[in-house]
Amino acid sequence: MGKLYAIFFSATDTTRKCVAAFCQGYGAKPVTAINLADSLNSKLPDFSSEDVVVVASPVYGGRLPKPVAEAFARLKGNNAAAVAIVVYGNRDYDDALLELTDILRAESFRIAGAGAFIGQHSIFPKVGKSRPDQSDLQALESFGKECKAKIRDGFDPDCTPFIKGKRPYKKAAGAPLWPSAKESDCVKCGTCASNCPVGAISGDKPFATDTTKCISCGRCISVCPIGVRKHSGVKYSLVGFLFNAAFSKRKEPEWVVAR
C-alpha cells in the first residue's frame, strides 16, 4: 500500500481529533497532514494511485464551508483511494458528506469509505459538548481499520454504498453570528488576526470582525490567549437557548465502506 495523507480543515480542533483517531485505527501516521485552517492556499501534494488520502471537513449549514469546498476542488486524485469524513455539531450533516464525496469523485479519487462524526458545536458548545468523546474516537478507529482492510483487499469504486444527502444540495447559508472582543478587554496581541483563515480580523483593530468575510469558524475564540473574543449579545443568547433545546439529543457516528 502507498502513503497515507490527511487533508482537512479544522478551526476548533474537533475535525483534527477525528482525523487523528481514524489514522490511529488505520495504523499509520500520515506522511503529510495539512490543516487548511492554517492556510486555505496551502500547496497540496501530488498523489499516486497507490496512495490513501483522508479528506475531512466540519459541516457548516449542512454543507462544506464554501472556502473549504473551493480548496478541496484543487485536489487531484490521480486514482488514489480517498476516505471522506465530515464532522458536525450534533444537529445534522444534511448534504455535506455527499458534497464531499462528489468533489472527490470528480477529481478522480476512488472512494474507499465515507463517514459523518460528531464534534462539539463550535458556535453553541453545550451541543455535542466534549465530543468527539471516547466512544466517538473508538468508532473512528474502527472505521480506520475497516478502510485499511478494504483498501488492502481491493474494492470496486463504482459500487459505492448509500450516502445520505440530496442533489441539488441545500442552499449554503452562513451563520449570522460573528465573534468579537470588547475593545477595552483586548490586549491587541494579534493572535486572532494571524490565525483567522479568511482574513476577517485586522491587525490594528483585532477586537473587531469584518462580517463580510467572517465564516464564524470560531478559531479566533479558541486562540485568544486571554479568552476575550467570544460570541455575545441578545441574539446569540436567544438563538443558543432555542438551539440547545432542539439539538441536544445525542447523535451517533455513521459510516460506510466501499464493497
Angle between helices 14-26 and 134-153 (to 10 degrees): 50
When asked if residue 257 is in the footprint of ligand SF4 (CB under 6 A), the reply is no
User: Which of these segments, 120-128, 185-193, 200-208, 234-242, binds ligand FMN (CB under 6 A)?
Assistant: 120-128
For ligand SF4, the binding residue among 229, 231, 243, 253 (CB under 6 A) is 229
For ligand FMN, the binding residue among 55, 87, 112, 221 (CB under 6 A) is 87
For ligand FMN, the binding residue among 123, 163, 201, 221 (CB under 6 A) is 123
Are the C-beta atoms of 117 and 253 separated by less than 8 Å? yes
CA atoms 103, 47, 199, 235: torsion sign: positive
CA neighbours within 13 Å on the CB side: how many for 203? 1
Rounded-to-integer distance, Cα 13 and Cα 128, Å: 14
Rounded-to-integer distance, Cα 79 and Cα 52, Å: 10
Are the C-beta atoms of 169 and 98 separated by less than 8 Å? yes
For ligand SF4, the binding residue among 97, 215, 257, 258 (CB under 6 A) is 215
The identity of residue 203, as a single letter, is G
**Secondary structure of the chain: what % helix, strand, coil (to 5)?**
30, 15, 55
Question: Which lies closer to ligand FMN via its Cβ, residue 16 or residue 148?
Answer: 16
Please give the full DSSP string across 13-54, using - where no structure is assigned: SHHHHHHHHHHHHHT---SEEEETTT-TTPPPPP--TT-EEE
Rounded-to-integer distance, Cα 84 and Cα 77, Å: 13
**Residue 13: CB minimum distance to ligand SF4, A:** 13
Q: Which does 110 bind (CB under 5 to 8 A by kind): ligand SF4, ligand FMN, none?
A: none
User: Which of these segments, 20-28, 72-80, 98-106, 202-210, binds ligand SF4 (CB under 6 A)?
Assistant: 202-210
Footprint (CB under 6 A) of ligand SF4, residues 171-190? 179, 181, 186-190
Question: Which lies closer to ligand FMN via its Cβ, residue 9 or residue 207?
Answer: 9
Question: Which lies closer to ligand SF4 via its Cβ, residue 28 or residue 208?
Answer: 208
When asked if residue 218 is in the footprint of ligand FMN (CB under 6 A), the reply is yes
Query: In terms of Cα–Cα distance, which of 101, 94, 16 is closest to 59?
Result: 94
When asked if residue 206 is in the footprint of ligand SF4 (CB under 6 A), the reply is yes
Are the C-beta atoms of 44 and 72 separated by less than 8 Å? no
Phi, psi of 57 (to 5 degrees): -150, 150
**Residue 15: CB minimum distance to ligand FMN, A:** 3
Rounded-to-integer distance, Cα 50 and Cα 83, Å: 14
When asked if residue 10 is in the footprint of ligand FMN (CB under 6 A), the reply is yes
When asked if residue 119 is in the footprint of ligand FMN (CB under 6 A), the reply is yes
When asked if residue 62 is in the footprint of ligand SF4 (CB under 6 A), the reply is no
- The residues of the shown chain that bind ligand SF4, judged by CB under 6 A, are 179, 181, 186-192, 196, 198, 200-201, 206-207, 209, 214-220, 224, 226, 228-229
- The residues of the shown chain that bind ligand FMN, judged by CB under 6 A, are 10-15, 58-62, 87-92, 119-123, 175, 216-218
